[in-house]
Amino acid sequence: MRIPLPEDDDPRRSEGRPSTPDPAALLAWYDRSARRLPWRTPPGAAERPDPYRVWLSEVMLQQTTVEAVRGYFAAFTARWPRVEDLAAAEDAAVMAEWAGLGYYARARNLLACARVVAGAGGRFPEDEAGLARLPGVGPYTAAAVAAIAFDRPATVVDGNVERVMARLFAVETPLPAAKAELRALAATLTPAARPGDYAQAVMDLGATICTPRKPACALCPWSAPCRARARGLVAELPRRAEKAPKPLRRGAVYVGLREDGAILVETRAAAGLLGGMLGLPGGAWTGNGEAAAPPFAAGWRELSAEVRHTFTHFHLALRVSVARVPRTAAPAADWRPWTPELERAMPTVMRKALRLARKDLLPTGPLPR
Q: Cα–Cα distance between 106 and 100 in angstroms, integer? A: 12
CA distances, 347 to each of 189, 204, 273, 308, 341 (Å): 40, 29, 11, 13, 12
Cβ 89 vs Cβ 111: under 8 Å: yes
Query: CB-hemisphere CA count at 13 Å for 116?
Result: 16
Of 342, 299, 302, residue with least CA distance to 324:
299
Of 35, 3, 53, residue with least CA distance to 197:
35
Residues marked active site are found at 58
